[in-house]
Structure 1
Amino acid sequence: MRSLRILWLWLSTSFRAAPGLMAISTVLVAARAITAPTQTYGVSRLVDGIAADRSSTIALGIAIIVGGLAVSFLADGLGWPLQDTAQERMAGRVHADLLDVTTGIPGLSHHERPDVADRLELVREKAWRMGVGAEVLLWAFGTVTNTITVLTLLGSVHPVLLLLPLLGGARIWSAYLSSTRQSKAWEDSMPQERLVDKLIEMAKDPRTGLELRVFGLGKVLLDKIFALQTQRFDRRVEAARWGGKVDGSVRLAFGLAYAAAIVWVVVRARHGQASAGDVVLVLLLAPQVDQMTGGIAQNVYWVGEVVRSFGRYDWLREYAKQNSWRSSVAAAPDRITTGIELRDVGFSYPGSDSAVLSDLNLTVPAGSAVALVGENGAGKTTLVKLLARMYDPTTGKILVDGVDLATVQPDAWRSQLSAGFQDFVKFEFTAREVVGIGDVERAADEGAVRTAVVRGDAESVIAGLPRGLDSQLGKKFTDGVELSGGQWQRLALARAFMRERPLLLLLDEPTAALDPEAEHRLYEQYASAAKIAAAETGGITVLVSHRLSTVRMADLIVVMHNGRVEEVGTHEDLLTAGGRYAELFELQARAYR
């Protein structure tokens, strides 16, 4: 069943990408495939006509030869450009489909699991083989057409000669074994390949260049890359050598068998049991049969590669379907009236047995500003991801006004959110776009963008750019401007302000690169925006910060420890309680004093 699904995926993708081009190319490929063996038959008729002095047979032979030349000229002249265009469209279709499928997965689990990451890397790495799927499909069709023609001509001399192409099946078998072994070698070496790519990216990244040079890590990095590449290449070269030995042995055996067949036909001709044309036909078909079996062998390899690539693509589509949260069809709320409740929430990252969150119970009232504090690894960022519904809880529920968040359509819920993160993305667009994409529907609104810049305290950044909001960011571009870490962060904060009335504003240490004064000023901006959102939509602001002086303005402070909620209350309540929060606050206050 899965094999048929993969084959149908291959066929449908090829013809969906360029239906007209594929139909014409199929006809031309068939014409090209029968040309050579048909012309060989024409030569045999010409030889028989000359030997028997029959004008009609001579004319027939010449007509077949000339007709074959005309068809070949036409098929080659039109076929290759059409085929190349079909292949380009196929490649474009494949890459567009891959992007659509991967970006359509609503959660982040596929980024966290090594086994899934390996498969995704293989899909990405081998995507170009799906891109040539149209060419391989036409190639396979041409080979089948050529094979049928050659078998018909050999059978016309003597049925026993039909065994020769069948002996070529051994070469097809060897090609299959070789391609399977090489494919296995590629799959086994994918962890090394992914690591090499990461290390090479690290070596090229300006952000890591300083530490690499200060600590003299260049040689260490190169040695590690070389060792990993050696492991990878050794495995693949060994598979290639094995395939070469098997294929060479099979080709030698096939050549000996064909030589014996030619001798046998010559002997028959000398005894009057075959014509001179038959001898010429078998002699000229010998290289064609070798090319035919070689073509089939190559097709087996490439068909196998394309089928395996479409098999991985089919797996990705099925994975996306199974992880699409299709049952989440409830509409996202327009406002929050009571609040968000976490009930017995537990969470473990995919592929891990250790729980990041355990038995977490918390009620966040509508319209409140909540601060999450605690040591690194306490589970604060994970909780933020669950609230954004990047994951669903492993156990328990998150309820929004009593509705299970797992039943809400994820994109609809996220359209009601805004966020600022410590690990923000440096989008190398124009400054206007970097801010505007915080609300794609209003990205072209000049007033909205400038308001977000002011609220994100990024006016000084825009003022320092050569073309203001229209400046291209990133040194990779001509006239591109590189920003400091703090400047990038201010633009990321402005981006978070593009959505004016989010139901949930998530701030996961978004000011880590800023000084305490700038951070405090920004949090006052957030607090002001939160109060407006709270009054109009019951919006909730969730803030993660290690600077406890900045969380005092929060309505509710949640102290997390080892994936659990340890304390909940206002700043004054928690100081009075004298627990973990009071201890952490005193440590930081003492450091400032």
Structure 2
Amino acid sequence: MILYLFRSFKMIYKIKKSWLFFTIFFRIANGFIPLIELWILQILINKVTMYITGNNDNLIIIVKLIVFQFFIIIVKSSLSNYFNVFDTKMEQMLDYYLGEIIMNKLISVPYYYYEIPSFYNHQYRILNNYGSRFLRPVKNLVEAVQNIISIVSYISFLYFIHWSLIFLGVVVAIPTLVIQYKYGNKKFAFHKDQSGKLREANYIIGLFGSKQSTKEIRLFKLRDKLLQRWKEIVLTNNKKYIRILNKQNRLSVGIDAFSGLLYALALVLIVYVIKIKKLSVGNFVTTIQSLKELQFSVNRISFLVALILESSLYIKDFFEFIDYEIDNKGTINEKIQLSLDNSRSIFSKGISVENLYYKYPLSDTYTLNNISFVIKPKEKVAIVGDNGSGKSTLIKILVGLYQPTQGKIFFSEKEIREIKDDDLRKNMTAIFQDFVKFAYSVKENIAFSDLDNITNEEKIKNVGLISGVDKLVEKLPKGYDTNLGKILPNSIDISGGEWQKIALSRALFKNSNIIILDEPTASLDPKSELSIFNQFMEIVKEKTAIFISHRMASARMADRIIVMKQGEIVEEGSHEYLMKKKGEYYNMYESQASWYQ
């Protein structure tokens, strides 16, 4: 735990060292102020007492002391308000800095992590108010130092009155620390345990706020069902948390009663000591005040220590998330970096898949079983099969999103695990069925696949002409600069088929040696899809192309067709060959023949 706290200090120091220095200085200075206030109060009371009894008629000293007290109040208030703003600015900087770290981590972890529910739970826990939560234990630690200085000041003052007052003021800290630490751990464990449920509650809220899902909620009258589910999760979560708080508060009441009893005993002792030592009224008042503040400071530091330990659990959770090991490719990449300077040539020499197996995390069954095939340079290959046959999983492995459980994939003589991710991404492009609909302009939606050419409007328009996007753009108010979707202001929403053409344009815009289409035209009618594929085949004639389609008429254009069923390749060959064979492909093609008549 100490190691994680040290790392948080180091990170804060790196972001803004001035905040750390000023905060420590401010807290240390604040720790001495109570002793100064006590000293002034004691002198003031004694002077006022003497003035009232007629032993001293110097009113100017009393006024000066009151003005000095007023000055201290103004200074404390000014510093406190200034540092509130200072802390808020630091939290904002942390939100920015940590947000960037988290997003970089999310995009760099192995893609298969997104198949694991515990990964979603972990990111849900750290994504809530991470700036303030990250800063909290550091602030608490510095505040604890301030309270320690105050405690030393009060102890020094009380020691000259009677040593037993120190014991009565400090002993209350022990049960406070135990209770706060115990229930701090319980609350963190509770939040960690409930993160999955709370994610579901947020998911339901998202369903109600989504244009796509709300139509089915209304159509199927799911409102009451989903709302009831949300209520059960939220109310159960709230009830369990309140139960923990009630137990903690009952014990806290007992601690407060114990503290009050000690304070009462201390008052009796103070009266006795003041009488024996014949001390002044100022001594009496400041002794009581010192004892009261000592008890408060001791309780506060016990609370802060427990809070630091509780908050450190979040710090630990955060660093465990960003410390996830990505994979073991780094060492290999360094070894082959120099040999891949001319990486485009590697991706222009075909693909070889040998004895490929894959199973998803937490699964005992293989999604792909002993897959082997070769794709020649510039060959056009269609992969067909029913839903669940493993087509999309195979594609995700080919583009490097998943690592094979067994088997190898070669681009030329290089195995995929030996190729840097940047080289892989640069020389391959893919558009999936669940492609992203970016809430940005048409131009950006197309050019996001090749940021080096994002300002090349001539290339963007040429791609739009090939894919048919130009006809859509003619109807848009700002042409290629029109924002799409419903998120940004002044955006225009478009149909599913038009989004498909945008996604296809994005794939064509990137000048890759290998182009993969994973059913991106599924929303188009069969004839429109056929038209798109005719254009697609024309523009990729000098490239290697792999495409997945449920529609056999599109597959017919390929040089070779791979037929998959239940994670295995069951047939392979040209359209003519497979039709003569009258097997799986023949049955699929015949069942769709009427679509194109």
Same fold (TM over 0.5): yes
Counterpart position of 2:375: 364
Pick one of 145, 151, 157 that aligns with 1:153.
157
Distance change in 2, residues 1:150/1:579 (3 Å): farther
Counterpart position of 1:90: 94
> 1:68-217 alignment to 2 at 5 Å?
68-69=72-73, 71-72=75-76, 75-76=79-80, 78-105=82-109, 107-133=110-136, 135-163=139-167, 164-217=169-222
Larger deviation: 337-346 or 201-210? Answer: 337-346
Pick one of 407, 410, 413 that aligns with 1:402.
413
Alpha-carbon deviation of 1:511? Answer: 0.3
The CA deviation string for residues 130-174 of structure 1, in whole angstroms up to 9 with x for no partner, is 354354454344334333333333334333333222422321221
> Are residues 1:573 and 2:577 paired?
yes
Alpha-carbon deviation of 1:279? Answer: 3.1
Counterpart position of 1:505: 515
Alpha-carbon deviation of 1:226? Answer: 1.1
Alpha-carbon deviation of 1:550? Answer: 0.5
For 2:323 and 2:278, the matched residues in 1 are separated by 61
The CA deviation string for residues 478-520 of structure 1, in whole angstroms up to 9 with x for no partner, is 32211111111111111111112x1321100010111222211
For 1:447 and 1:324, the matched residues in 2 are separated by 41
Counterpart position of 1:234: 239
User: In 2, are the aligned partners of 1:374 and 1:559 still within 8 Å (CA)?
Assistant: yes
For 1:28 and 1:92, the matched residues in 2 are separated by 25
Distance change in 2, residues 1:281/1:325 (3 Å): farther
For 2:591 and 2:209, the matched residues in 1 are separated by 40
Larger deviation: 224-233 or 582-591? Answer: 582-591
For 1:364 and 1:132, the matched residues in 2 are separated by 54
User: In 2, are the aligned partners of 1:174 and 1:243 still within 8 Å (CA)?
Assistant: yes
Alpha-carbon deviation of 1:61? Answer: 8.1
Counterpart position of 1:4: 2
User: In 2, are the aligned partners of 1:347 and 1:394 still within 8 Å (CA)?
Assistant: yes
For 2:42 and 2:184, the matched residues in 1 are separated by 38
Distance change in 2, residues 1:466/1:74 (3 Å): closer
Alpha-carbon deviation of 1:66? Answer: 7.1
Counterpart position of 2:505: 494
For 1:69 and 1:206, the matched residues in 2 are separated by 55
The CA deviation string for residues 372-416 of structure 1, in whole angstroms up to 9 with x for no partner, is 111110110001110111110111221211212112111331122
Amino acid at match of 2:588: L
Alpha-carbon deviation of 1:577? Answer: 2.3
User: In 2, are the aligned partners of 1:189 and 1:235 still within 8 Å (CA)?
Assistant: no
Pick one of 264, 268, 276 that aligns with 1:263.
268
Q: CA RMSD in A?
A: 2.7
Counterpart position of 1:27: 25
Distance change in 2, residues 1:38/1:328 (3 Å): farther
For 2:280 and 2:407, the matched residues in 1 are separated by 85
For 1:209 and 1:62, the matched residues in 2 are separated by 66
> Are residues 1:289 and 2:294 paired?
yes
For 2:156 and 2:460, the matched residues in 1 are separated by 73
Alpha-carbon deviation of 1:576? Answer: 2.1
For 2:517 and 2:272, the matched residues in 1 are separated by 89
For 2:277 and 2:170, the matched residues in 1 are separated by 25
Q: Which runs of 5+ in 1 are unaligned?
A: 534-539
Larger deviation: 559-568 or 128-137? Answer: 128-137
Alpha-carbon deviation of 1:69? Answer: 4.5
Distance change in 2, residues 1:417/1:147 (3 Å): farther
Distance change in 2, residues 1:317/1:324 (3 Å): farther
Alpha-carbon deviation of 1:189? Answer: 1.3
Distance change in 2, residues 1:324/1:311 (3 Å): farther
Give the secondary-structure state (helix, strand or coil) at the position aligned to 2:344: coil
For 1:316 and 1:124, the matched residues in 2 are separated by 11
For 2:468 and 2:595, the matched residues in 1 are separated by 27
Identical amino acids, percent of aligned pairs: 22
> Are residues 1:423 and 2:428 paired?
no
The CA deviation string for residues 187-220 of structure 1, in whole angstroms up to 9 with x for no partner, is 2211111111111111111112222222111111
Distance change in 2, residues 1:64/1:170 (3 Å): farther
The CA deviation string for residues 411-440 of structure 1, in whole angstroms up to 9 with x for no partner, is 331122211121111111111111111211
Give the secondary-structure state (helix, strand or coil) at the position aligned to 2:449: helix
The CA deviation string for residues 33-77 of structure 1, in whole angstroms up to 9 with x for no partner, is 32124312332355567889899xx99988985774475255336
> 1:436-455 alignment to 2 at 5 Å?
436-455=447-466
Pick one of 544, 548, 560 that aligns with 1:556.
560
Give the secondary-structure state (helix, strand or coil) at the position aligned to 2:540: helix
For 2:13 and 2:152, the matched residues in 1 are separated by 24
Distance change in 2, residues 1:162/1:215 (3 Å): same
User: In 2, are the aligned partners of 1:29 and 1:75 still within 8 Å (CA)?
Assistant: no
For 2:441 and 2:595, the matched residues in 1 are separated by 40
Distance change in 2, residues 1:146/1:110 (3 Å): farther
Q: Which runs of 5+ in 2 are unaligned?
A: none
Pick one of 474, 486, 489 that aligns with 2:485.
474
Counterpart position of 1:537: none
Count of residue correspondences:
580
